[in-house]
Amino acid sequence: MSYRLGVDVGGTFTDLLLINDDTGATYTAKVPSTPKDSSIGVLNGIEKICRTSGVDPKEIRKVMHGTTVATNAILTRKGAKVGLVTTKGYKQVLHIARSFVPGGLGGWVIFQKGELLATLEHTIEANERIAADGSVVTALDKDAIRRDLEVLRDKGIEALTVSLINAYSNGEHEQEIAAIAGEVMPNVPVSISSDVVPEMQEYERTETTVVNSYVRPEVSKYIANLERELKARLADDVELSILRSDGGLSACDSAADTPVNLLLSGPAGGVAGATYFCSRGGFDKVLTFDVGGTSTDVALIENGSARLRRETRVGDIAVRAPSVDVRTIGAGGGSIAFVPELTKALRVGPDSAGAEPGPAAYNKGGELPTTTDANVVLGYLPANQKLGGDMQVRKDLAEAAVQKVADAMGISLYEAAEGIVRIANEHMFGALRLISVEQGYDPREFALCGFGGAGPLHANALGMLMNAWPVIVPPAPGVLCAYGDATTRVKDEASRSLIKGFSKISDQEVLKILEQLTEQVQSSLARQDIPRDQQSIVWQADLRYQGQALLLTQDVDPEALREQGSQLLSKSFDAEHEQLFSFALEEEHELVNLRAIARAPRPNIAEKQFGSEKRELESARIGESEIYFQGKHYNALHYNRDLLTPGHRIQGPAIVLEMDSTTVILPGYEANVDKVGNLLIQPEHGGKE
Amino acid sequence: MPATIVHKNEKPFQRIDVETVTLDIIENAMANARNEMDAVLFRTAMSPGIREQGDAFPMIANHEGKMVVGQFGSFITGFIQSYAGTIEEGDIFLTNDPYMCDGAVSHLPDWLVMVPIFKGGRLINWAAMFGHMSDVGGKVPGSLPTDAKTIFEEGIRIPPLKIYKNGELNSDVLDLILHNVRVPRWNKADFNAIVAACRTAGKRCVELAERFGDDTYISALQMMLERNYVAMREIIRMVVPESKQSFEDYICDDGAGLGPYTIRCTMWREGDKAIFDFAGTDPQAPSSVNFYLNEEMFKMFFGAFTINLFDPSILFNDGFYDLVDVRIPQGSILKPNFPAALSCRTHLLGRIFDVMGGLLGQGTPDAMSAAGFSDSPHFMYSGYDENDEWFQLFQIGFGGIPGRPVGDGVDGHSLWPGFTNVPNEFIEAYFPLRIETYESIPDSGGAGKHRGGNGIRVGYRLLAKGEISIHDDRWLTYPWGVNGGDPGQRSRKILKKTNGEEIILPSKCDNIKVEKGDLVIFDTWGGGGWGDPLERDLGAMSADIKRGLISVDGARRFGVVADANGVIDEAATEQLRASMKDSRTEALPLFNRGGTIAEIKARALAETGLEAPATPVWER
């Protein structure tokens, strides 16, 4: 027997999923996260899941891990003390930050700028210069940089970034400085921009490489600790892989060297989990939304894989690292509702009651009305639901909180609660539009998948707004990220920045570069024991019309490119441009980046088998209560999700309860349980009267 | 004679009472639609000015033309009033002539696209956007000739016309226009991008009307306007006193030897109505620095400026316009007579914000910021590169945000929302130059309890023979400090020739010949300081010195004695601060302008290396 383990560390809980590689049998566990050292929570979880499942830890050979260590280091500003080397004249590249002031006209009046991740007192300049074409204008002054690096070392920096002007076209000087730093400060990890992100734009490249340095000591320490502990407890040859922001798995060494690629490791796991269940249910075009306590993450899945983008945002930090195109908005269960004095409008979020004090209904000292409280008042979150274990819902406290909004607006308690939920839904709807309609996709062609603790509460209502059916609530929506971790495959990619018009580069040159990149990624996967003949290769090219800022990534089949040449790229680019913006131009196409991606085969995971016994739906009924919807009160039946089996059909209004999640089925809608256990919500009678 | 709006469906909209939550949802959706316009534009535009710097402004108006969301509204009503033809489904209007649209756009490079949005045969909305084109022809590359005497020298003038009719592009007209500009591919792509952005907004409006019903939707837009009316009425009562208050500021010169020009504004309130009277503002200039200021646009500036002080979460619109009355004398530099040249209006456009800050701030000094980076200085460089291909660079400069009630001014940032610099690596890859220096200038922000932000120094090493133009200001008058703060350092431009010669360039100049290897040092100005410099926090001082943002000498302006590592000698500092305080003979001024205009002019040559301009006078 051998097992694989998916582990997702979230803000409140650490979720685990253990899968038997041969039978597909699964076991889940949930333990509190341990933010000070999250590896403790992971080890607690492993202890618990082995105890409850009876699996021998020595039989666990693979651990796939989604981690928020890198993200938290940024959000809490507890990263390393970073030193930065720039080209002479560019010391303030991060300080000036492209001169951008957020907000509208007059936004500068209130704009407050955060501390830099590499401060000016820890920034030095190298006397050197490389031109845009990669030629050396001024050779590096090695003696001077050595002296300045010694000063930086003596200031106690814990990580170093080297980011020089035009290094995207020639990284020679960066490498020379890295070598000198290796002598001056052998224990300090050095990140150079031409390795981490060899792309044009000095501010973004520097920021990205500095973020890499900022989280690097923390992440490497964490991964090394965890790996050591796992080796001691699990199988002797246990392999630890880390989920990257782009949804690929990465060996723990390379994850530790470029942790900037892990910033969205957590959300990427959720999207991967959703992809897993939705594609097994037969849906490969899906919009996903993951509603947590403070925020909602949305993503778009097309052809069974998540849409990617080449930028990652965490809080106010934006870096050039590929990630699953997850958009985050400040609307979650804890979002606070309020009524500003001046306009008497109803606003929800972005301020959140967070985990402490939390929504009023949690009885942990919170008094401000939140989305969760509104859900409690409306009956969507019934008082008999235990939240994440043993927390009891207090309807009276939720009502008192929501009443404040009702009083300020002069409306009834239920109207206020429904208003809050509608506004929160509208925020989520806005985020879903951002990744669908605004990218040229028609949501009516997509299914909608809601997960996370609160996603299934809002799922039906969002389906109504989006007109996207069915609405899918996958099994175990609260531990979906761990499913994603356990079911993704190893992936590596290599890219090169070119920035050349099509007329300036031949098809042969393009092919030659792509073949080189392919060799690079194939040998990287081969080193991770994935034979070349089992790897699948995809090529990508980032294109634009010469002069534009945008980049559209075109996936290319290697064979087709060899046959048809680069006109294949320009044609697919024109078509996508037309789809997105309603026009194409007769301008020269510019080839900005070429990329090769190698993937290992999907892990072979057996389907979960539902027993042959056909249970009556009645046997899953566990109660009933009143809900309020569109101005009316209804009686809703309660069902236990664990007792539902494929073929069951539940008519709304109904509420489906499980360990850590609650699904609402609204009046006029029904939910069917499909063959893999998904709840598929849609209008009654398939929308036909 | 107003335009004829052709409705295929004459049924009037019914005003109904929309419940608050639906109203909030529609408000939110309108804000999203506007953001989507920006997104479409920035991704598809091609000229660096729009694409990277974001020099473009969207808006969505209701069926009557009142701006519901946006920034530089509200010109649609004026357009409907003055356009003589029909407005029909499938029409798209284009204009760039300030004199033909009552200043909705204020110079020819700004192309304004207006799209009426129809649903079921009825006009339900307008989407509009204007963007700054890098070139519209005329006498100099970039189409911003300082020495133009009339608008005819500034490029092709496009009267309001139907560039699309019945959904069909009038390609003959577009070809004619593009034939008159220096880099037609940029204009063409940018024009397409603006049209695409407006159409996107149009789709969203129709979807919303479908979702909520036409009457609910139209009524909700009306209620959004009313919401603003109520909010702004409160704000006006708070910030505009019944007694008259005046403030004046300047642009330093007109590039033709005259200056400074005074912009004077007097403000008071009668009942709920705020009145802004620009009587006392100087006459129009003989050059192109005139700013044809649309009264409605000034209302928008006023609203946006105050709303950020009191409640930035309000979605801003036209609803309060009836509460404000703006009076601008005809023939003044803010309302010049046709055919006065207008291309270089950017200095006055920015300076209006300093005027407003000083004007509103007198009543509530604690809420007042110092003079900021009230401009978008331009650097232009053009010629033929080594492959004999034409190049034309247009760059905007950034500078010091002023000391503010919330804290120090930020170094080297922008006054305008959404503007960013064009990445230097991008410029180096596409233009024959290298940017050797890109940093803020230590000590250039005015001293204060909250210091002004530093200006930026950009060093351009030019790698091809060509010509440069500069449009800048605040080289003579100072960015003033407030509440005891000092003024910021002024701007300065130097051309260093390969033979070692150094030429101080005037703030406004065109057709300056440059050779391969020349270096242009472009220093922008710092923000004014806020509050008494002797009260500035020592921790902040120490950090600024360590970071090279304030020098050891510069620290003495704050009465601070420190070494180059930022270690402060507390005893010496206490002593210095006490003696500086003792030597003050009078109370710190509310505004510190660095002297009277006469004093500043007398010192000009010695301090700036440039002759002071002559004072402009009204010709009666």
Rounded CA gap, B221 and B126, in Å? 12
pLDDT at A688 over 60: no
Contact A342 B415 (CB under 8 A): no
CATH number for A316: 3.30.420.40
Strands A391-392 and A386-387: antiparallel
CATH number for A587: 3.30.1490
In the prediction, which pLDDT does A654 show?
96
Q: What is the pLDDT of residues A363-412, one digit of tens each?
A: 888 899 999 999 999 999 988 776 555 568 899 999 999 999 999 988 99
Q: Pick the closest to residue B545 from B561, B564, B571, B569 (CA basis).
A: B564
In contact, A365 and A357? CB cutoff 8 Å: yes
Select from A214, A235, A253 the last residue of a domain.
A214
Q: Of all helices (H) and strands (E), which one includes residue A403? A: helix A395-409
In contact, B175 and B32? CB cutoff 8 Å: no
In the prediction, which pLDDT does A609 show?
65
A308 lies in the same domain as A453: yes
B432 lies in the same domain as B554: no
Query: What ipTM was assigned to the predicted interfaces of this complex?
Result: 0.90
In the prediction, which pLDDT does A648 show?
93
- Give the number of beta-carbon pairs within 8 Å between A and B: 227
Rounded CA gap, B472 and B377, in Å? 5
* Domain assignment present for A505: yes
Confidence of residue A686 (pLDDT cuts 50, 70, 90): low
B183 lies in the same domain as B228: yes
> Given CB atoms, is B314 within the 8 Å cutoff of chain A?
yes
Confidence of residue B1 (pLDDT cuts 50, 70, 90): low
Chain A contacts of B43, Cβ < 8 Å?
A: 548-550, 580-581
* Residue percentage of chain A with pLDDT more than 90: 49
In the prediction, which pLDDT does A689 show?
38
In the prediction, which pLDDT does B118 show?
97
What is chain B's mean pLDDT, rounded? Answer: 92
B146 lies in the same domain as B191: yes
In the prediction, which pLDDT does A485 show?
84
A145 lies in the same domain as A179: yes
* Residue percentage of chain A with pLDDT more than 70: 96
A178-187, long-range: CB < 8 A, 24+ apart: A180/A142, A180/A145, A180/A146, A180/A149, A181/A149, A184/A146, A184/A149, A184/A150, A184/A153, A185/A149, A185/A152, A185/A153, A185/A157, A185/A160
User: B459 CA to chain A: closest CA distance, Å?
Assistant: 9
A503 CA to centre of own chain: 38
Q: Which residue has the higher pLDDT, B615 or A483?
A: B615
* Domain assignment present for A60: no
Confidence of residue B219 (pLDDT cuts 50, 70, 90): very high
In contact, A100 and B396? CB cutoff 8 Å: no
Give this prediction's pTM.
0.87
Confidence of residue B474 (pLDDT cuts 50, 70, 90): very high
A323 lies in the same domain as A429: yes
* Domain assignment present for A300: yes
In the prediction, which pLDDT does A451 show?
93
The b-or-e profile of A292-319 (16+ CB within 10 A means b, else e) is: bbbbbbbbbbeeeebbbbbebebeebeb
Dihedral over alpha carbons B265, B268, B274, B275 (to 10 degrees): -50
* Domain assignment present for B267: no
* Domain assignment present for B193: yes
Residue A681's identity, in one-letter code, is I
* Domain assignment present for A264: no
* Domain assignment present for B605: no
* Domain assignment present for B335: no
Q: Give me the number of domains chain B comprises.
A: 3
B523 lies in the same domain as B548: no
Strand residues in B133-283 grouped as ranges (E): 161-165, 168-169, 245-251, 261-270, 273-277
Mean pLDDT of the region B299-307: 84
User: B386 CA to chain A: closest CA distance, Å?
Assistant: 14
Tell me the backbone φ, ψ of residue A441, rounded to 5 degrees: -100, 145
Rounded CA gap, A69 and A73, in Å? 6
**Minimum mean pLDDT range among A415-429, A447-461, A474-488, B597-611:** A474-488
**Minimum mean pLDDT range among A184-198, A374-388, B82-96, B458-472:** A374-388
> Given CB atoms, is B238 within the 8 Å cutoff of chain A?
no
Q: Chain B 119-178, CB below 8 Å of chain A: which residues?
A: none
In the prediction, which pLDDT does A329 show?
82
* Domain assignment present for B565: yes
Rounded CA gap, B6 and A326, in Å? 44
B47 lies in the same domain as B116: yes
In the prediction, which pLDDT does B510 show?
92
Contact B423 A581 (CB under 8 A): no
* Domain assignment present for B182: yes
Chain B contacts of A200, Cβ < 8 Å?
A: 423, 425-426, 429
* Domain assignment present for A232: no
Q: On the CB side of A228, how many CA atoms lie within 13 Å of its CA?
A: 7
With 0-12 / 13-18 / 19 or more C-beta atoms within 10 angstroms meaning exposed / middle / buried, residue A363 is middle
B316 CA to centre of own chain: 18
Cα dist from A368 to A343, A356, A403, A414, B266, whole Å? 20, 12, 10, 16, 45
A447 lies in the same domain as A504: no
A340 lies in the same domain as A465: yes
H helices within A298-381, ranges in order?
371-377
Cα dist from A633 to A384, A675, A683, whole Å? 19, 33, 19
Residue of A nearest to B429 (CA): A132
Residue A366's identity, in one-letter code, is G
Q: Give me the number of domains chain A comprises.
A: 4
Span between the terminal Cα atoms of chain B, in Å: 33
A328 lies in the same domain as A425: yes
Q: On the CB side of B336, how many CA atoms lie within 13 Å of its CA?
A: 25
Look up the domain containing A179 and give its range: 77-214
A77 C-beta neighbours (distance < 10 Å), count: 12
B557 lies in the same domain as B569: yes
* Residue percentage of chain B with pLDDT more than 70: 98
> Which of B20, B46, B205 to substitute to test the interface with A, most A CBs within 10 Å?
B20
B127 lies in the same domain as B8: yes
B524 lies in the same domain as B542: no
In the prediction, which pLDDT does A107 show?
82
B150 lies in the same domain as B34: yes
- Residue recorded with tokens 């650490």: A14
User: Rounded to 5 degrees, what angle do the CA atoms B495, B496, B500 make?
Assistant: 150
CATH number for A84: 3.40.1360
Tell me the backbone φ, ψ of residue B435, rounded to 5 degrees: -95, 105
Confidence of residue B314 (pLDDT cuts 50, 70, 90): low
Contact A137 B46 (CB under 8 A): no
Select from B532, B548, B567 the last residue of a domain.
B532
B262 CA to centre of own chain: 18
In the prediction, which pLDDT does B313 show?
63
A142 lies in the same domain as A108: yes
A686 lies in the same domain as A570: no
Q: Pick the closest to residue A414 from A401, A403, A425, A430 (CA basis).
A: A403
Look up the domain containing B550 and give its range: 533-587
> Which of A112, A343, A585 to substitute to test the interface with B, most B CBs within 10 Å?
A343
> Given CB atoms, is B412 within the 8 Å cutoff of chain A?
yes
In the prediction, which pLDDT does A421 show?
95
Contact A99 B412 (CB under 8 A): yes
* Domain assignment present for A317: yes
Q: What is the pLDDT of residues B550-573, one digit of tens each?
A: 999 999 999 999 999 999 999 999
B501 lies in the same domain as B538: no
Confidence of residue B344 (pLDDT cuts 50, 70, 90): very high
Contact B39 A430 (CB under 8 A): no
A291 lies in the same domain as A187: no
User: A93 CA to chain B: closest CA distance, Å?
Assistant: 7
B558 lies in the same domain as B539: yes
> Given CB atoms, is B406 within the 8 Å cutoff of chain A?
yes
Rounded CA gap, A166 and A194, in Å? 9
A574 lies in the same domain as A446: no
* Domain assignment present for A136: yes
Q: What is the pLDDT of residues B3-21, one digit of tens each?
A: 899 989 989 999 999 987 7
B20 lies in the same domain as B89: yes
In the prediction, which pLDDT does B312 show?
60
The b-or-e profile of A526-540 (16+ CB within 10 A means b, else e) is: eebebeeeebebbbb
Confidence of residue B394 (pLDDT cuts 50, 70, 90): confident
Rounded CA gap, B138 and B395, in Å? 19
Q: What is the pLDDT of residues A215-246, one digit of tens each?
A: 999 999 999 999 999 999 999 888 899 999 98
Select from B232, B249, B278 the last residue of a domain.
B232
* Domain assignment present for B55: yes
* Domain assignment present for B351: no
**Minimum mean pLDDT range among A404-418, A545-559, B440-454:** A545-559
Q: What is the pLDDT of residues A611-623, one digit of tens each?
A: 655 678 888 999 9
Q: What is the pLDDT of residues A149-178, one digit of tens each?
A: 999 999 999 999 999 999 998 999 999 999
pLDDT at B36 over 90: no
In contact, A195 and A261? CB cutoff 8 Å: no
Mean pLDDT of the region A427-445: 82
Select from B232, B267, B295 the last residue of a domain.
B232
Q: What is the DSSP letter of B124?
A: E
A454 lies in the same domain as A512: no
A167 lies in the same domain as A118: yes
* Residue percentage of chain B with pLDDT more than 90: 75
What is chain A's mean pLDDT, rounded? Answer: 88
